[in-house]
Amino acid sequence: MLGYLMRRLASAAVVVVLVSVIAFIIVSVLPGDTAAALLGEEGARNAERYEALRQELGLDQPILVRYGNWVAQVVTGDLGRSLRTGEAIGPAILARAVPTVQLAIMALLISVTIAIPIGVVSAVYYRRLPDHLGTLFALTAIATPGFWFGIMLIILFSVTLRWLPPSGYLPFFQDPLGSLQLMLMPSLALATGFTGVLIRQVRSSVLEVLNEDYITTARSKGLSPTTVLFRHALRNALLPVVTLVGLQLGALFGGAATVETVFSIPGLGRLAVDSIFFRDFTMIQALMLVLALTVLTASLLTDLIYSRIDPRIRRG
C-alpha cells in the first residue's frame, strides 16, 4: 500500500510539472499581454508607457527566464503577486476557493442523492415505465446546459415566485442558512449534467450486477428481493460510481466558472475568467497549478476510498 502511494505521488509530481509548462506556454502565446490589458486600448498606443510597464512587470524577459524565476519562487511556497491587482496570489486564491468548494460539494451531494435512487429504480424496473421515465429525466439533464438552467431557475424562483435570492454570496460560517439558500440554485445548475450521467452509470452498473451469479446465489438462499438488492447488489454496483464521482470533482470546478458568472459568486471560476481577460499571467499559472493539484488529489482520494470499500483491493 505504501509503495503504491509513493508511485501515485511520483506520477502526480510529473503531471504537475507538465501542467505548469503547458500553462506557461499557453499563456505566453495568447495575443496581447498584461501591460496592454492594464493600459487599455488607448494607453497601449503610447509605446513609452507600454514598454515601461512591461519592464516593471518583468514581461520583457525571455520566456525561459520567466519560467525559471517562477518555478524558483513557487517551490518556496510563494505563488507571487497578481500582475493585475498586485495582491498576493496564495491568499487571494484561498479566499476565492471557499465559495467554489462549497458550490462543488453541494452540487455533488445533490447529484448523488438524486441519481442513485433514480438509477437503482430504473435498473430494477428495467424496460418498464419507471425505467423509461428515469431515462428521459437523465437524458434531459445531460442535454441541459447548466448556465441556461441557472437562468431559468432565477426566473422561476427569484423573479416570479420570489422564494430565493437571485444572486450573491454569503460565507457559510457567517450565516449557514442564508448561505445554503443562496447556493441552492447555483449548485442545482452545476449538478444538472453530472446528475444525468450518474443516473445512467448507476442504472447500467446495477443492471450488470443483477445478472451476476452471486445474485442468483443470494436469491437461492431464500433472501427477500429487498435484501438481495441492498445487501448484495448495491454494494457491488456502487464501486464504479465512486470512481465516477471522484473523477467528476475536477470537472465540477471547471464547470463552476459559468455558474459563478451567472449567479455572481466570487469563486475560483470567476477569478480564472477575469484573470484571462486581463492576461494576468501569474494568476492564470497559479490557478492552473491549483486546479491540477485539486484533480490529482481528488483522484488519489477516490482510489484510496475505493480500496477501502473493495476487499479485493484492500486485502488483495
84 vs 232 by CB, closer to another protein: 232
Nearer to another protein, 31 or 316 (CB): 316
Q: Is 261 one of the binding residues for another protein (CB under 8 A)?
A: no
162 vs 312, beta carbon nearer another protein: 312
Least separation in angstroms between CB 23 and another protein: 41
- Pattern of binders to another protein over 164-203, x per CB under 8 A? ----------------------------------------
Q: Which stretch binds another protein (CB under 8 A): 27-35, 62-70, 93-101, 230-238?
A: 230-238
Q: Under the criterion CB under 8 A, does residue 219 sit at the interface with another protein?
A: yes
The site for another protein, by CB under 8 A, has a size of 25
- For another protein, what does the binding mask look like between residues 109 and 138, x meaning CB under 8 A? -----------------x------------
236 interacts with another protein by CB under 8 A = yes
CA distances from 104 to 206, 249, 256, 268 (A): 26, 7, 8, 11
Phi-psi category of 212—alpha, beta or left, where left has phi over 0 and alpha has psi -120 to 50?
Answer: beta
Q: Tell me which amino acid residue 294 is.
A: T
Residues 6+ apart with CB under 8 A from 240: 201, 205
Cα separation values, 292 from 20, 97, 111, 208, 251, Å: 9, 14, 23, 33, 11
User: Whole-angstrom Cα distance, residue 260 to residue 198?
Assistant: 23
- For residue 272, what is its C-alpha cell? 480564472
Among 45, 49, 132, 231, binds another protein (CB under 8 A): 231
Residue 218 beta carbon to another protein: minimum distance, rounded to whole angstroms: 7
Using the rule CB under 8 A, is 227 a contact of another protein? yes
Contacts of 113 by beta carbon, 8 Å cutoff, 6+ apart: none
Figure out which of the listed residues 216, 247, 254, 273 binds another protein, where binding follows CB under 8 A.
216
Q: Which of 292, 194, 294, 209 is nearest to 245 (CA)?
A: 194
- Which of 224, 264, 273, 308 binds another protein (CB under 8 A)? It is 224
Binding of residue 163 to another protein (CB under 8 A): no
**Is residue 208 near another protein by the rule CB under 8 A?**
no
Taking CB under 8 A as the rule, does residue 212 contact another protein? yes
Residue with smaller CB distance to another protein, 183 or 245: 245
Only segment of 85-93, 167-175, 181-189, 212-220 that touches another protein (CB under 8 A):
212-220
Work out which of 84, 232, 270, 279 binds another protein, going by CB under 8 A: 232
Rule CB under 8 A: which residues touch another protein? 126, 212-214, 216-225, 227, 231-232, 235-236, 309-312, 315-316
